[in-house]
């Protein structure tokens, strides 16, 4: 079946509750491992179907936020997900207290039960209404972002469609485009502030109801972070500040000279070359055709994967009115199908979707035979290793997309992957400050953002008063939707850089490590997965210094005459 033929059926919550209660009753009483296993596997089938229906609604609502049917179904899930979570919570309690717990751990793996124990810290029935409200606030933010209609260049654009203007070779266009984007956020700033203020206070209240001092440890538990904590993350940020930010300053200074500017402004940071940033040399269909050729040449596994994605129409890539911004990969359990959602805009970011989001999709496609839902995906920082590393594994085929601009693409891709990291840790440090101080006013939060931004990105100079007052983060959906997720991109980027280094030295070994990592899915913790892939741990002092040294050597040795 093609994606359009995947049938959505609203879950029957009463029937689901009945099936959970029956399973719980068996798990609590049985002393027969086979009986417990059959019951557990049967309820996992129910869970896979519920997840499939939820994902179908999320995707179809993302594709058209104006579709009244799927807007209604999204509201159904906003309302019922916390109730469903309460069923999973009761099952989790039964499993960890089961008389056969040791045998179940031996059969299904310790990681599953460690994750269950962590999840039990994140839920009590008395927070159901709070979780419903949290879902509604996040959906409200998504809808507000999708509502953007920005008049520019004689057209009405959404936020994704404004991206090419922000990297225009003409400085006036870049500046005017940035002004137009910030104008949308300024016009709606009260709505954004109200949504976020409500989310912060609500999450803090939920944390305290669950016995946490504040939201930070709850946020980590929600992300199933079992082998590192906020102190380790703080030390990682310290490494970034000390060992990576100085390198980024050099990269930015090289850019200033290349662009022949006396001073870089925020609206200049999106441009890498006076002749313009490298762009793919064809439209969306042409790019998909190049991706198909690339993945067939890359490996047998990736060739099979890309055929599956194309044949089943599992990519929605065009930007269009009413479509949610951004990009993501999700998965339909019952169809064993990944799905890629994006907003193509004619920039090199389009090709990055066909490598980055395809990296996510390839991972879950590779681990699709796990029947336990928790093992399909790893935790988020490990997920991002697959996507960011695939961007680098695809380098030998970038000429298919960029032709004569391939060298420019490779230089800017590696340089921007380094300069991204300080922004990622800015987002993380900001969120830690916010949830340590939930009583802050919107103005105090914005002051904190600007101070942290200056610490990690001193080269970011705004002319726009609204942005200089600390409002840039309003456009970063992760801050609203998934607290503490964003640092995962930077941790994974450091790991992906290691794959880039390994691949240049020994492709076969690097690919074997990568494919082994993909197939492991979520069956191990983040640090355990690093060992599976033979990667250095980013939390350990010296890892960033060692990694960035090799990256800088490549950038320094690059023939700069090609960068016009």
Q: What is the per-residue pLDDT across 366-381, written as a single tens digit (0 to 9) for each?
A: 999 999 999 999 999 9
Q: What is the per-residue pLDDT across 509-549, written as a single tens digit (0 to 9) for each?
A: 999 999 999 999 999 999 999 999 999 999 999 999 999 99
Give the pLDDT band (50/70/90) at residue 473.
very high
* Boundary of a domain, candidates 81, 116, 132: 132
Give the pLDDT band (50/70/90) at residue 564.
confident
Report the pLDDT value the prediction gives residue 561, as an integer from 0 to 100: 81
Is residue 201 in some structural domain?
Answer: no
Is residue 393 in some structural domain?
Answer: yes
Is residue 164 in some structural domain?
Answer: no
User: Which position has the higher pLDDT, 438 or 160?
Assistant: 438
Q: Which residue from 356, 348, 358, 352 is spatially nearest to 309, judged by alpha carbons?
A: 358
The stretch 432-446 carries a mean pLDDT of 98
- Name the pairing type of β-strands 337-344 and 315-318: parallel
* Boundary of a domain, candidates 110, 132, 154: 132
Classify 558 in phi/psi space as left (phi over 0), alpha (psi -120 to 50) or beta: beta
* Boundary of a domain, candidates 106, 132, 158: 132
Six-digit token string for 369: 């035979």
Determine phi and psi for 525, rounding to 5 degrees: -75, 170
> Of 68-77, 192-201, 318-327, where does mean pLDDT reach its minimum?
318-327
The stretch 400-412 carries a mean pLDDT of 95
Number of domains observed in the structure of the chain:
2
Report the pLDDT value the prediction gives residue 562, as an integer from 0 to 100: 80
Is residue 87 in some structural domain?
Answer: yes
| Rounded CA separation 65/63 (Å) | 6
The stretch 403-412 carries a mean pLDDT of 94
Report the pLDDT value the prediction gives residue 560, as an integer from 0 to 100: 81
Q: What is the per-residue pLDDT across 77-123, written as a single tens digit (0 to 9) for each?
A: 999 999 999 999 999 999 999 999 999 999 999 999 999 999 999 99
Report the pLDDT value the prediction gives residue 492, as an integer from 0 to 100: 97
Helix (H) / strand (E) element for 358: namely helix 349-366
Is residue 461 in some structural domain?
Answer: no
Is residue 39 in some structural domain?
Answer: yes
Is residue 8 in some structural domain?
Answer: yes
Q: What is the per-residue pLDDT across 200-238, written as a single tens digit (0 to 9) for each?
A: 999 999 999 999 999 999 999 999 998 999 999 999 999
Report the pLDDT value the prediction gives residue 479, as an integer from 0 to 100: 97
Report the pLDDT value the prediction gives residue 404, as an integer from 0 to 100: 94
Residue ranges making up the domain that contains 318: 284-401+497-531
Global pTM value? 0.91
Give the pLDDT band (50/70/90) at residue 241.
very high
Is residue 319 in some structural domain?
Answer: yes
Six-digit token string for 431: 């969120």
Angle at 204 between CA 492 and CA 182, to 5 degrees: 65
The mean predicted confidence, pLDDT, of the chain is 96
């Amino acid at each position: 079946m093609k994606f359009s033929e995947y049938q959505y059926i609203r879950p029957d919550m009463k029937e689901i509750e009945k099936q959970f209660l029956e399973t719980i009753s068996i798990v609590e009483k049985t002393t027969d491992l086979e009986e417990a296993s059959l019951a557990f596997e049967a309820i996992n089938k129910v869970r896979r179907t519920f997840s499939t229906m939820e994902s179908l609604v999320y995707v179809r609502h993302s594709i058209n936020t104006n579709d009244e049917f799927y807007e209604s179904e999204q509201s159904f899930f906003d309302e019922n997900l916390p109730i469903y979570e309460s069923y999973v919570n009761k099952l989790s309690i039964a499993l960890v207290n089961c008389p056969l717990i040791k045998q179940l751990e031996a059969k299904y793996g310790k990681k599953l039960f460690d994750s269950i124990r962590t999840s039990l810290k994140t839920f009590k029935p008395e927070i159901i209404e709070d979780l419903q409200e949290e879902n509604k606030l996040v959906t409200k933010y998504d809808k507000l972002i999708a509502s953007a209609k920005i008049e520019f260049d004689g057209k009405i654009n959404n936020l994704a469609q404004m991206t090419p203007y922000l990297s225009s070779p003409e400085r006036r266009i870049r500046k005017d485009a940035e002004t137009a984007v910030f104008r949308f956020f300024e016009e709606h700033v009260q709505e954004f502030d109200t949504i976020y203020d409500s989310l912060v206070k609500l999450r803090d209240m939920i944390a305290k109801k669950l016995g946490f001092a504040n939201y930070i440890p709850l946020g980590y538990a929600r992300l199933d972070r079992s082998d590192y904590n906020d102190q380790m993350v703080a030390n990682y940020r310290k490494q970034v500040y000390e060992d990576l930010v100085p390198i980024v300053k050099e990269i930015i200074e090289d850019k200033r000279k290349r662009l022949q500017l006396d001073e870089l402004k925020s609206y200049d940071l999106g441009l890498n070359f006076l002749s313009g940033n490298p762009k793919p040399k064809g439209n969306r269909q042409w790019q998909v055709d190049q991706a198909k050729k690339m993945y067939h040449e890359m490996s047998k596994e990736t060739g099979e994967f890309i055929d599956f994605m194309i044949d089943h129409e599992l990519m929605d890539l065009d930007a269009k009115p009413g479509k949610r911004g951004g990009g993501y990969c999700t998965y339909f359990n019952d169809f064993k199908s990944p799905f890629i959602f994006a907003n193509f805009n004619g920039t090199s970011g389009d090709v990055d979707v066909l490598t980055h989001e395809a990296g996510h999709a390839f991972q879950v496609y590779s681990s699709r035979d796990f029947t336990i839902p928790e093992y399909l995906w790893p935790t988020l920082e490990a997920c991002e290793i697959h996507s960011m590393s695939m961007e680098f594994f695809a380098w030998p085929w970038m000429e298919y997309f960029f032709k004569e601009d391939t060298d420019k693409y490779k230089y800017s891709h590696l340089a921007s992957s380094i300069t991204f990291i300080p922004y990622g840790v800015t987002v993380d440090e900001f969120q830690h400050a916010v949830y340590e101080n939930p009583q802050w006013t919107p103005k105090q939060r914005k002051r904190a953002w600007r101070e942290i931004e200056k610490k990690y990105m001193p080269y970011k100079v705004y002319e726009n008063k609204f942005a200089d007052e600390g409002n840039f983060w309003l456009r970063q959906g992760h801050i609203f939707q998934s607290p503490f997720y964003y640092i995962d991109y930077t941790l994974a980027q450091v790991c992906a850089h290691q794959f880039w280094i390994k691949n240049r030295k020994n492709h076969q070994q690097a690919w074997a490590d990568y494919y082994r990592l993909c197939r492991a899915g979520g069956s191990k913790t983040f640090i355990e997965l690093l060992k599976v892939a033979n990667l250095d741990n980013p939390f350990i002092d010296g890892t960033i210094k060692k990694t960035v040294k090799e990256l800088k050597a490549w950038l320094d040795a690059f023939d700069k005459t090609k960068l016009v």
